Structure 1
Amino acid sequence: MVYAFKFDKVLAMKEKEKETAISEYNEALKRFEDVAEKLYRCLKQKEDYEQIHKQKLQLGLSIQDIRYFQQFMTNLERTIHHYQHLVIQAREQMQAKQAKLAELNIEVKKYEKMKEKHVQTVLQTIRANENKWMDEISIQQFANRRN
C-alpha cells in the first residue's frame, strides 16, 4: 500500500524555487565580484599613477604633464565613483537574493520535516495494523487449537 505525502507537489515546487533562488544568488554574487574587481583595479591604478606622478614631480615635470595628470585623475575619480555606486547596488541585490534564498530554504526544510513526520506516522500505522493482524491470527490459531 503506497502512501503519498499530501504536500509532495508543494515540496517539489518549493525545491524548484529554491534552486532558482540559488542560481539567482550565484549570478548576483558573480556580478558583485566582477564590479568589485573593477573598482579594485581602478583604485590600484589610481594609487600606482599617484606614486609614479610623485616620483616624476621630484625629477621635474612640465605644466602640460601636470595638467594631463590632473585631467586623468579627475576622469579616474569619476570612474571610481561610478564603480563604487555599482558595488553598492550589486551588494544590495546580492543581499536581497541571499535573504530570499534563506527564506526559501526554511520553507523547504519545513515541508521536508512535515514529510518526515508523515512517513513516521504512516510507518507507525502500518506497524500497528500488522500487530493487530498478528494478534488476530494468533487468536484464531489459539481458538482453532481448542477445537
Structure 2
Amino acid sequence: MAETITLSKLLHVYENERKDAQRAYHHALAFFEDIATQLYTLLRKKEDAETLYDNSLPITVPLEKIKGQVAYIERLNHQILRLQQQVQHARSDMHSKQLKLTDAHVEVKKYEKIIDTRIKSEKEVEAKREKASMDEISIQQFLSHKNR
C-alpha cells in the first residue's frame, strides 16, 4: 500500500509536468499560427502588388509609380523571407514541445498503469488472505462440531 502511495505522488508530479508541457505546446501552437497568418497576409499583399504591377505594364504609367511598385514588392520579399525563417523556427519549436508533451503523456500513462496493476495485485492478495482466513475459520468450526 505504501508503494501505491509513493507511486501516486510520482503520478501527481508527472501529471503536473504533462500539464506544463501541454500549456507550452498550446502557447507554441498559437505563436506558430500567428506567425503563419502574418506570412499568409504578406504573401497575399505581394500577390496583389504583383497583379497590380503586371496590369499596369501594358498601359502608360509614370516611371516613378512603377519604381515605387517594384520597391514595395522588394520590401515585401524581404519581410516574407524574414517571416519564413520565423515560421520555420516556430514550427520546430512547436514540434519539440509536441514531443515533450507526448513523452509526458506516456509517462503519466505508464504510472497510471503501474498503479492500477499494483492495486489489482493488492486486492488479489487481500482476497486470497480473506479466503485463507475463511477456510481456517471453517476448518475450526468443523473440527469443533466434530469433537462434540
Q: TM-score, normalised on structure 2?
A: 0.94
Q: Which runs of 4+ in 1 moved over 6 A?
A: none
Residue-pair matches, total: 145
**Distance in 2 of aligned mates of 1:40 and 1:63:** 29
Tell me the CA shift for residue 52 of structure 1.
Answer: 1.4
**Distance in 2 of aligned mates of 1:70 and 1:139:** 101
Tell me the CA shift for residue 8 of structure 1.
Answer: 1.2
Tell me the CA shift for residue 70 of structure 1.
Answer: 1.1
CA deviations 1:52-109 (Å, max 9, x no partner) are 1111222221101011011111111111011101101100100110111111111111
Q: How does 1:15-54 map to 2 (within 5 A)?
A: 15-54=15-54
Which amino acid is 1:10 matched to? L
**Distance in 1 of aligned mates of 2:137 and 2:60:** 108
1:12 aligns with 2:3: no
Which amino acid is 2:22 matched to? I
CA deviations 1:107-131 (Å, max 9, x no partner) are 1111111101101111101100110
**Distance in 2 of aligned mates of 1:140 and 1:60:** 115
Tell me the CA shift for residue 142 of structure 1.
Answer: 0.4
1:71 aligns with 2:71: yes
Q: How does 1:55-70 map to 2 (within 5 A)?
A: 55-70=55-70
Structure-1 residue corresponding to 2:130: 130
Tell me the CA shift for residue 28 of structure 1.
Answer: 0.3
**Distance in 2 of aligned mates of 1:40 and 1:60:** 31
CA deviations 1:15-67 (Å, max 9, x no partner) are 00001100100100110011001001100110111111111222221101011
CA RMSD of superposed structures (Å): 1.0
Structure-2 residue corresponding to 1:83: 83
**Distance in 1 of aligned mates of 2:38 and 2:93:** 18
Identity %: 34
Secondary structure of 1:58 counterpart? coil
